[in-house]
Structure 1
Amino acid sequence: MSEFARATHPKRNDVDRYGVTLDDQWSIGDKLHGGYLLAVVARAAAARADEAKPDAHPDVSAISATYVQPPEPGAAEVITELLRSGRSATQVQARLVQDGATCVSALMTFGALGADDPYWTSSAPVDLPPRERCVRIPVESPGVDARLSLMGMIEQHIDPAALGFAIGEPSRRGFVGTWVSLADGTAWDPFSMLIALDPSPPVSLEMGIPGWAPTLQLTAFVRRHPAPGPLQVHTSSAEISDDRMDETTTVWDSEGRVVGQAVQLAGVRIPVPAKQRH
């Protein structure tokens, strides 16, 4: 079993309830990564979908989640509700609960994804330097006041042009490009891709806003099974205001096809200009 599969494995407690163990290796600082939490919820919901219609809709294709409060590493439970199981899709609602409190609430659609080229697309991979010319993000990263345990579970290589924040010179371009692989060499699948669809570092660091950016709401689409190899991830922001930031993420596989898309609203703390301080 891969590291990802082990860290997201659900154990059936009841017809609609699944026990999970949240693994602190998938953390940013002292908070579990939002994409990892999505994957935990989605794998439990997939188990419920499979009970309703075995082998019919094995893949998560859409998920919309609200992050209510951060859970702690350790035991938790995913409570599911089967909404519908039809010919081409199964819909499930689920909550990640710990100590009686809801931490993440999500609506999901499951189906059977293919790996074919698109009928039509306007998307093309962004102009990102080759992986060997990008910089791998370490667990202990300059310019980030937190231990990035997640970076021990994935290999993430960032465009050097986006690294100015590490030396106090952010480029303020409003986007970040990276190459991402699972560190143990496991191939990406529709569930593990939820990690890539909640990207780090956040665009706010590249825009000169220090500190992390907790996800408040995230909607992701998984379009197809990815080809073997690293994913190319591009994240941009349209606006940062009122201590809120939107991020739009597109993920391409090694054959240049879009395999996932996401949009989220995150919290930030916009620095107060010196002249406004009292």
Structure 2
Amino acid sequence: MKDFDAATAVEPRGVANGHHEFAVDLDAQWAVGDKLHGGYLLAVLGRAAAAVADGAHPHLTAVGASFIAAPEPGPAVAVVEPLRTGRGSSQLRGRLVQDGRPCAEALITQGRLEDGDAWWTRAEPVELPAEQDCLLSPAESPGVPFRIPLMDVVEQRLCPDDLSFLTGRPSGRGRIAGWQRLASGADWDPLSLLVALDPVPPASYDLGVPGWAPTVQFSAYIRRLPAPGPVRALLQATEVTGDRMDETAHVWDAKGRLAAQATQVAAVRPPR
């Protein structure tokens, strides 16, 4: 089992026409079923972008990505094109390619994050039972027809109030909340928070729409360097229209401060 840093490692392959190429080895452990986790894939691109960005901008602060095709675990290439380097941030374009096929495309902003408190906020952390009183998400669950390897590397404990769908009675609120830790014991950082922002299962389960909900577009903002310890994550759907669902995610660090937030559009198959 690779820890997060090893699973997102990149190896420089050279520069051609201003495009920096990195060899990557996509790790099957960071997957839901046989599909690699979207936050993990963006973290790989973020690792490559950090290697290209000016040293004054070591942290990913924002990313907007489109997922084009699901890559397989194994060798792939991350391509990073610097777009602009300013005083406070650098903008880069990243692409994940496998066997000559683009799999994900992202615009990435690099900057420098701090670990201080907010000057103003209304993002109060989601209220949850104590971590030990929440339900641990296993890699293999009764009634789930596929394994979730991600749960071997991310220790996730979900709020019991959000799990009524397990007994066939989804609440209809479109909400999933819980605690998350990296199973390796490592602290969360700006890249690994991208994984926390895309928790499993999707909010559609609480709407009575189980099954895979592949991300089509994902935008995330990392607000600060998170304090050591577990994070709380809240995932909520706003509307399901046709075969698309939007979800918003907020993640608070162990001090109860907003560490990251995201919005995504995912594909779903609601009952007709």
Name the Cα RMSD after superposition: 1.2
Deviation at 1:110, TM superposition (A): 0.3
Give how far 1:86 is off: 1.2
Answer yes or no: is the 8 Å Cα contact 1:67–1:215 preserved in 2. Answer: yes
Give the secondary-structure state (helix, strand or coil) at the position aligned to 2:238: coil
1:199 maps to which residue?
199
Question: Residue in 2 aligned with 1:136?
Answer: 136
1:80-91 to 2 correspondences below 5 Å? 80-91=80-91
Query: Which residue in the other structure is 1:6 paired with?
Result: 6
Q: Secondary structure at the match of 1:194?
A: helix
Q: Match for residue 251 of structure 1?
A: 251
Contact 2:36–2:72, Cα closer than 8 Å, also in 1: yes
Aligned-residue sequence identity (percent) comes to 50
3-state SS, counterpart of residue 45 of structure 2: helix
- What is the identity, as a one-letter code, of the residue corresponding to 2:33? G
- Specify which of 42, 46, 49 is matched with residue 45 of structure 1: 49
Q: Which amino acid aligns with 1:149?
A: P
Matches within 5 A, 1:159-238: 159-238=159-238
Partners of 2:144 and 2:131 in 1: CA distance: 22
The residue that corresponds to 1:63 in the other structure is 63
Q: Would you say the 8 A contact 1:143–1:168 is kept in 2?
A: no
Deviation, structure 1 residue 102? 0.4
Answer whether contact 1:145 1:211 (CA < 8 A) is retained: no
Which consecutive aligned stretches of 4+ in structure 1 deviate over 6 angstroms post-superposition? none
Contact 1:142 1:166 survives alignment (8 Å): no
| Gaps in structure 2 of 5+ consecutive residues | none
Task: Give 1:144 shift.
Answer: 2.4
CA shift for structure 1 position 243: 1.1
Residue 232 of structure 1 aligns with an amino acid whose one-letter code is: R
Q: Is the 8 A contact 2:173 2:206 kept in 1?
A: yes
Q: Distance in 1 between matches of 2:187 and 2:143?
A: 30
What SS does the corresponding residue of 1:107 show, helix, strand or coil?
A: strand
Offset from partner CA, 1:55-92 (integer Å, 9 cap, x none): 21100000000000000000000111000111110111
> Who is 2:260 aligned against?
260
TM-score, length-normalised on structure 1? 0.94
Alpha-carbon deviation of 1:98?
0.3
Q: Aligned residues, how many?
A: 268
Q: 1:245 touches 1:267 (CA, 8 Å); kept in 2?
A: yes
2:22 alignment partner in structure 1: 18
Deviation for aligned residue 1:178: 0.9
Deviation at 1:142, TM superposition (A): 2.7
Is 1:31 the counterpart of 2:32? The answer is no
Contact 1:62 1:220 in 2 (8 A): yes
How many Å separate the matches in 2 of 1:206 and 1:67?
24
